[in-house]
Structure 1
Amino acid sequence: MLNAEQIRNQATAQILVHLQLALHHFEQALSGGGTLAQSVEAGHAVLRVRLPTSDLMTLQGLLQACNTLDRSLEVLISNRLEGIGGRVLGADSGVAALRSRIRSTLLLNVDGQSLIHYGLQLNDQGVYGCNIRDCQATMEQNPNGLAVVLGRTGVPHPSGVLGAFIGLVRHWTDVHTGLIRQRLRALDAHQRNTMQRRAWLCARCEQALAPRLAQLRLLQRLQADLQMTGQRLLVLGSHDPAGPMPA
């Protein structure tokens, strides 16, 4: 039982590390997708406004990153332990809810509009895509609308869909307070507790077995003494003038 718990804890920790890597890759994919790109010259932030075509490319890159993350989450959540059974993260509803958080973040309403107005689609296989015609038609009516909905990832004030995704990722990956860090700490504490329980059980077993082992050793010595005594009696009997001792 304790060994199974240790195996499950180790497998869970490994999957959480893979989850953190997947989220970091997702954040890196978004890092160049802000609506307003920043550069620093002579200590001042210089803002460069993106073109509508760049916004469309940013949207397509965002959806591709979301699809990649969603597939990674699906694999991690469905991971099973051979010989033990059950999903490793089966009891972690927070990790499972990440997939729905992707969808809800993509549907974020910003100033009365969302990516639905710009052709956001989800097919039968659960893959996010964009209807280019619908997107371009809406952008003709509101050239800056997609830029506002997408928002930005940069400091000091992330905004829109991109900013919401960055906040979601860092809520999980922060090295001090992130949900992954909290889970790893809890697993480490559980692992230590499991080892302490194992040591306690081993000590109790040794205490319970000690008297019986002592009795067993005493019986073994008595048996050896009896065998030796029997052999001596046989030797004495063979030299007895009255004949050997009857069996």
Structure 2
Amino acid sequence: MANAITAPRYDPLVTAEQLATKSVAAQKAALAAQTTLANNTTSALSNLKSAISTFQLAMTTMTSSKSVLNQSATFSNTAYGTATAGIKATPGSYAFFVEQLATASQTSYGGVSTVDVADGTGSLKVKIGDGVGDNTLDIDLAAADKDGDGKLTPQEMAAAINGNSKNNARVTASVINIGNQAQLVLTSNLTGLENAATLDASGVANATLKTALTDTNNIKNIVPPKDAIVWLGAQGSGTKITQASNTFTNVPDVKMTFTKAMTAGENPITVTVGTDSAGTIANVQAFVDAYNKLKSVMDGLASPGNPEKNIAAGIFAHDSGLNALRSSMGDALRLNVDGVSLVAYGITAQRDGTISLNTAKLTAKLADNPGGLDKLFGNNSLSAPAGVLGGLDKVLGQWSNVTKGQITQRMAATDKLQKSLAKSSERLTNQYNTAYSRFLDQYSRLQVLQEQMTRNSDMFDAMFSNDKS
């Protein structure tokens, strides 16, 4: 009998898996591509949102500073003080003679000891300046015994003064031990005569304590309170200015803090107010850097790529919306106010769309028209946006608005797509499982049939074999 043809051997599990995988391969590849695109789109939108937010914050910082233009106030001799100038400060020079600095009072009361509350305590007053109204702190000495041991210690008195509800950190009481005696030290935290702190012990009932606090031999003026005395001009012939603080604001929008007194006969020091070119350049450069950083992110997302160099295109390479945003930002930079643009202040566009700053040109234009820079930049406030910053914020807001901006809408659409793709993935998994089960059943039965045929073939071979042994 001729030899029977041997049927191929296979594993139904492996065959079912291969056929089921092949049946959904095309759909699975398409779904994977769509999912990758959706995930990349979400990531790109998040990066764009972050970049726009960072740039808008930079613009807000410029707006909150009230001015891109920096003003400076400089002492001719910094040993005598420091100064700062605001945007409303008028350029000019001012001569000052510092006759006396303001000081904060500090007084010690010696011989203060622990007393028995049972012997009577009464009340102690701390007077600040004139002692009128809230300038008097009433200290209940009996209540000052916080641990309730019937003993009132100097430390408890100091704590009662510091913790008084009307104190507001204007006066600090402390205890210093010298030998076997406690010194209650009262220090004003503010300078000037009107802030001097003193004790009024007329209401103290304990005789020992009252004596310690009123005996002039026990009271030492460690630092007497003084007002600051500064002359606008020369000492004696200029205008005398007296106040409690060493910080003066007599020149509009200029804050001067004097730190050293002068000796009679010295020439007055000069405080010069003018444009701070270095500070202004730093402010403008910060804007240029922030703009270029946002531009770099946008350019990466919209890049056409280069197949020859194996550089992939950006995810928004053919997105008309992003290209329109980039174009609108360029238009906002070209704003002209009173015949002047950013170019006049040294801010120019480069071939790649970024901007650069020519500091020499900026410095020259500031000397000619310092106020024009602020007017040109404007602000990005919600109530009254203006200038370049207002224009940029308007076009960026079309994308960054949290309720109806392009980014919000696109992320919502992408999120909806991702949910749809997740459901499609579930359906594809079910489709695969169904196909797998079907193929497994078919090829399992086929395997059984082949085994039966093989056994029948073996039986026929045995029956009709020529081998009679």
TM-score of the aligned structures, taking structure 2 as reference length: 0.41
The CA deviation string for residues 124-170 of structure 1, in whole angstroms up to 9 with x for no partner, is 45441233444444444444222111101334222111122223333
- Conservation of the 8 A alpha-carbon contact between 2:31 and 2:425: yes
How far apart are the structure 1 equivalents of 2:424 and 2:292? 43
> Are positions 1:27 and 2:56 aligned together?
yes
Shift, 1:10, TM fit: 1.0
Q: How does 1:17-96 map to 2 (within 5 A)?
A: 17-34=46-63, 37=66, 49=87, 53=276, 57-78=282-303, 86-96=313-323
Distance 1:109 1:164, change over 3 A: same
Contact in 1 for aligned 2:400/2:407 (Cα 8 Å)? yes
Q: Find the counterpart in structure 2 of residue 192 from structure 1.
A: 419
* Equivalence for 2:402: 175
How far is 1:73 from its partner? 2.3
* C-alpha displacement of 1:181: 1.6
Corresponding position of 1:246: 464
What is the rounded CA distance, in whole Å, between the counterparts of 2:438 and 2:64 in structure 1?
77
Partner of 1:9: 38
TM-fit CA distance, 1:5: 1.6
* Residues 79/28 of structure 1: CA separation in 2 closer, same or farther (3 Å cut): farther
Please, what is the CA RMSD of the aligned residues?
Answer: 3.5
What does residue 381 of structure 2 align with? Answer: 154
| Structure 2 contact 301–317 (Cα < 8 Å) conserved | no
Question: Looking at CA atoms only, which structure, 1 or 2, has the larger radius of gyration?
Answer: 2
Structure 2: distance between partners of 1:100 and 1:152: 21
Give secondary structure in 1 for the equivalent of 2:412: helix
How many Å separate the matches in 1 of 2:298 and 2:363? 31
The one-letter amino acid of 2:302's match is I
C-alpha contact (below 8 Å) 2:342/2:348 kept by paired residues: no
Asked if residue 166 in structure 1 is aligned to residue 397 in structure 2, the reply is no
Partner residue of 2:445? 218
Q: State the one-letter code of the partner of 1:170.
A: G
User: What amino acid is the match of 1:30?
Assistant: M
Tell me the distance in 2 between the aligned counterparts of 1:23 and 1:57. Answer: 21
Contact 1:35 1:147 (C-alpha < 8 Å) held by counterparts = no
**Structural mapping, 1:76-155, within 5 Å:** 76-78=301-303, 86-124=313-351, 126-155=353-382
Q: Structure 1 CA distance, aligned partners of 2:302 and 2:60?
A: 26
State which drifts further: 98-107 or 196-205.
Answer: 196-205
Unaligned runs of 5+ in 1: 39-47, 238-243
The whole-number CA distance in structure 2 between the counterparts of 1:151 and 1:208 is 67
Q: Identify the range of structure 1 (13-22 vs 121-130) with the bigger mean alpha-carbon deviation.
A: 121-130
One-letter amino acid matched to 2:35 = Q
Structure 1 residue 112 displacement after superposition: 4.1
Contact map agreement 2:380 2:393 (CA 8 A) in 1: yes
**Aligned-pair distance for 1:60?**
2.8
Which protein is richer in helix relative to its size? 1
Higher relative contact order (CA 8 A, sep 6+): 2
Distance verdict in 2 for CA 1:89–1:226, change over 3 Å:
same
Q: Percent identity?
A: 27
> Could you say what secondary structure the match of 2:61 adopts?
coil
Cα separation, 2, equivalents of 1:20 and 1:88: 15
Aligned length: 227
Unaligned runs of 5+ in 2: 1-29, 68-85, 90-274
> Are 2:398 and 2:405, in contact at CA under 8 Å, matched by a contact in 1?
yes
| Partner Cα separation in structure 2 for residue 60 and residue 195 of structure 1 | 47
